[in-house]
C-alpha cells in the first residue's frame, strides 16, 4: 500500500534510502508535488515514465540543492547565472546545454542535447536532495495528461500504488508548475509561464521570446502539448453566466453572476461554487487553481464555467493552464 508519510527526519531518511535503491518517492515542492527518482540512475528514471504512463520522449526536470551542483550537469551562461542567483531556490526551470561529463541519466534529456534544471525552495525537497546526496529527477506526480497535484492526497488519487512513498509537505504554496525558460539559444525562450513571470525575467535579462503555442510534431517542450492539464469535466472559459448543471469557478467578486433561466451564482450549492480568490489576488488564485479544478472535476457537473482572469503577471500562467485544459477537451 502506498503510504502518505509526514516529513519527519526519520521518514525523509527512509525516502532517501528508497531513492538510493532505485525506488520512487513523491515529494513536495513549492510549485506542485513531484514524482522523484535518483537522477543518476537510468532504471529509476525509466520507472518514472512507467508510473506516470508518460510518453517516453518527454524529458524530465532535474532538481539540485544549489546552483553549484547544477553547474556540474549543465553549462551556465551569464544570463543563466544571473537568473539563478536571483530566483533560486524557487519556481524557475532553466534549460541549458548538457555537459559532456554530466553524470545525469540520459533519459532525463530524452535524446535532447539539453537538460532542464532547477533548485526547489520547499525545505522537504531540499532535505531529501541532501539526504540522497544526488540530484532528483522529478516530473509532476500525476498520471500523464491529468492535473498536477498540489496536495499529497492528489498524488495518491492520481498515481495510487505507482507513487511509491508519498512525503507530505502541506499544500503547495505556488500551486502551478515552474516557469520553464530555454536558455540554449541567442534569445531566451519562455516555454511555460509560471510564478516567475515574463515581466520578472524581462526586467533582468531584457528580451524574452514567448513560444507557448502547441507544436504538432517534435515540440520543444512537450509540456506545450495541448493535452497536458486536463480535468475530465469540460471547461467553459471567460464565462459571464452559468448554464444549468454547471459549476462555477469564480475569480474576484461573483455576486453579479447569474444562472441562465433564473437564479444567481450565490444560490448554487457550496460544492458547485468555488472562488479562486474573492479579492482578485492572482497569487492566491494560482495556489488554488489545481485543487479547485480537482474538487469540481469530481462533482459530476456538466461543465465548469470559469470566470475571466486578467492576462497579466501570474494571470498569464493561470490562463495558459486553463486554455490547454479547455482545448484538449475539444479534440
**Residues contacting ligand TXA: total by CB under 6 A:** 27
| Contact flag: residue 31 with ligand TXA (CB under 6 A) | yes
* 141 versus 307: smaller Cβ distance to ligand TXA: 141
* 93 versus 233: smaller Cβ distance to ligand TXA: 93
Residue 128 binding: pick among Mg ion, ligand TXA, none (C-beta 5-8 Å cut-off by kind): none
Closest CA to 89 of 51, 42, 49, 122: 122
How many angstroms separate the CA atoms of 20 and 79, rounded? 34
How many angstroms separate the CA atoms of 195 and 183, rounded? 18
Q: Contact letters (x/-) for ligand TXA, 74-113, by CB under 6 A?
A: -------------------x-x-------------x--x-
- In the region spanning residues 199 to 218, those forming contacts with ligand TXA, defined by CB under 6 A, are none
- 25-27 vs 165-168, strand pairing mode: parallel
Task: Tell me the three state secondary structure of residue 192.
Answer: strand
| Contact flag: residue 60 with ligand TXA (CB under 6 A) | yes
Contact 180, 194 (CB under 8 A): yes
| Contact flag: residue 220 with ligand TXA (CB under 6 A) | yes
* 147 versus 254: smaller Cβ distance to ligand TXA: 147
Q: Name the segment binding ligand TXA (CB under 6 A); options: 11-19, 55-63, 247-255, 278-286.
A: 55-63
* 1 versus 101: smaller Cβ distance to ligand TXA: 101
| Contact flag: residue 126 with ligand TXA (CB under 6 A) | no
- In the region spanning residues 130 to 169, those forming contacts with ligand TXA, defined by CB under 6 A, are 138-140
| Contact flag: residue 121 with ligand TXA (CB under 6 A) | no
Tell me the closest approach of the beta carbon of residue 93 to Mg ion, in angstroms: 12
Which residues pair with residue 259 across a beta bridge?
242
Alpha helices in the chain (DSSP H): 9-20, 42-52, 67-70, 78-87, 123-132, 152-159, 198-205, 282-297, 314-329
Closest CA to 58 of 154, 186, 183, 192: 192
Distances from the Cα of 167 to the Cαs of 147, 152, 264, 331, in angstroms?
19, 7, 41, 35
* 127 versus 140: smaller Cβ distance to Mg ion: 140
Residue 44 binding: pick among Mg ion, ligand TXA, none (C-beta 5-8 Å cut-off by kind): none
How far is the first Cα of the chain from the last one, in angstroms, to the nearest whole number? 36
How many angstroms separate the CA atoms of 84 and 81, rounded? 5
Kindly state the helix (H) or strand (E) to which residue 54 belongs, with its residue range: none
Listing DSSP states for 92-110 in one string gives EEEEEEBPTT--S-GGGTT
| Contact flag: residue 175 with ligand TXA (CB under 6 A) | no
Contact residues: Mg ion, CB under 5 A: 140
How many angstroms separate the CA atoms of 7 and 13, rounded? 9
Closest CA to 278 of 299, 254, 301, 256: 254
Q: Name the segment binding ligand TXA (CB under 6 A); options: 175-183, 232-240, 246-254, 274-282.
A: 175-183
| Contact flag: residue 197 with ligand TXA (CB under 6 A) | no
| Contact flag: residue 116 with ligand TXA (CB under 6 A) | yes
- Which residues bind to ligand TXA, rule: CB under 6 A? 29, 31-32, 34, 58-61, 93, 95, 109, 112, 114-116, 138-140, 177-178, 180, 191-192, 220-223
Amino acid at each position: 500500500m502506498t503510504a502518505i508519510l509526514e516529513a519527519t527526519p526519520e521518514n525523509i531518511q527512509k525516502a532517501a534510502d528508497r531513492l538510493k535503491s532505485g525506488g520512487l518517492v513523491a515529494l513536495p515542492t513549492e510549485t506542485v508535488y513531484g514524482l522523484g527518482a535518483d537522477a543518476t540512475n537510468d532504471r529509476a528514471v525509466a520507472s518514472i515514465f512507467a508510473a506516470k504512463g508518460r510518453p517516453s520522449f518527454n524529458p524530465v526536470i532535474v532538481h539540485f540543492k544549489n546552483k553549484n551542483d547544477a553547474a556540474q550537469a549543465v553549462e551556465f551562461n551569464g544570463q543563466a547565472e544571473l537568473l539563478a542567483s536571483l530566483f533560486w531556490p524557487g519556481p524557475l526551470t532553466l534549460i541549458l546545454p548538457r555537459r559532456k561529463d554530466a553524470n545525469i541519466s540520459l533519459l532525463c534529456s530524452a535524446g535532447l542535447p539539453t537538460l532542464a534544471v532547477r533548485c526547489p525552495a520547499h525545505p522537504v525537497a531540499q532535505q531529501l536532495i541532501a539526504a540522497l546526496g544526488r540530484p532528483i529527477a522529478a516530473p509532476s506526480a500525476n498520471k500523464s495528461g491529468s492535473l498536477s497535484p498540489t496536495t499529497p492526497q492528489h498524488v495518491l488519487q492520481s498515481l495510487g500504488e505507482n507513487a511509491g512513498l508519498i512525503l507530505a509537505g502541506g499544500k503547495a504554496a505556488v500551486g502551478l508548475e515552474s516557469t520553464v525558460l530555454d536558455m540554449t539559444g541567442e534569445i531566451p525562450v519562455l516555454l511555460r509561464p509560471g510564478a516567475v513571470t515574463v515581466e520578472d525575467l524581462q526586467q533582468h535579462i531584457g528580451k524574452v521570446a514567448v513560444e507557448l503555442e502547441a507544436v504538432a510534431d517534435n515540440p520543444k517542450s512537450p509540456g506545450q502539448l495541448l493535452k497536458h492539464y486536463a480535468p475530465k469535466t469540460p471547461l467553459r472559459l471567460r464565462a459571464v453566466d452559468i448554464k444549468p448543471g454547471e459549476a462555477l469557478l469564480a475569480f474576484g467578486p461573483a455576486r453579479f453572476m447569474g444562472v441562465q433561466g433564473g437564479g444567481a451564482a450565490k444560490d448554487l450549492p457550496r460544492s458547485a461554487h468555488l472562488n479562486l480568490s474573492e479579492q482578485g489576488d492572482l497569487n492566491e488564485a494560482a495556489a488554488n487553481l489545481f485543487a479547485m479544478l480537482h474538487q469540481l472535476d469530481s462533482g459530476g457537473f456538466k461543465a465548469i464555467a470559469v470566470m475571466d482572469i486578467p492576462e497579466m503577471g501570474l494571470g498569464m500562467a493561470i490562463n495558459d493552464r486553463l486554455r490547454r485544459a479547455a482545448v484538449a477537451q475539444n479534440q
